[in-house]
Amino acid sequence: MHEMSLAEGVLQLVEDTARREGAQRVKTVVLEIGRLSSVEPEALRFCFDAVARDTLAATAALEIVDVAGAAWCLNCDATVAVSERYDACPQCGGYQLQLTAGTEMRVREIEIE
């Protein structure tokens, strides 16, 4: 389960930021997770709750923003929605797509006090 190592990385980033800012606790962590990122949001939520115990983020709410997949088609020069990494272009049927959204996982916001 790679979500555990991802949760540990997110927690490290969150705690480093909170300490640098002199925070007493982390209230909210907002993550953007792309549908094509191979990250299972609920598994990540479970892992984050487990690794955050006894830390500045122990009571933090974890909000996950779903990011849809998108790609640019080299054949028809269109930006299209995709739901799988190897989908065909819905406009021309070609498979020369360059993913432009949906593969990311990033910390978008940290609320501290």
Q: Residue ranges per domain, the chain?
A: 2-112
pLDDT at 29: 98
User: Is 0.75 surpassed by the pTM of this model?
Assistant: yes
Residue 1 reports pLDDT greater than 70: no
15: alpha, beta or left, given left = phi > 0 and alpha = psi -120 to 50?
A: alpha
What gap in Å lies between CA 17 and CA 79, rounded to an integer? 36
pLDDT recorded at residue 12: 97
Sheet containing strand 69-73, edge to edge, reads 79-82, 69-73, 97-101
Read off the pLDDT of residues 7-61 as tens digits, 9 standing for 90 and up.
Answer: 999 999 999 999 999 999 999 999 999 999 999 999 999 999 999 999 999 999 9
- Fold for the domain defined by 2-112: hypothetical protein PF0899 fold (3.30.2320)
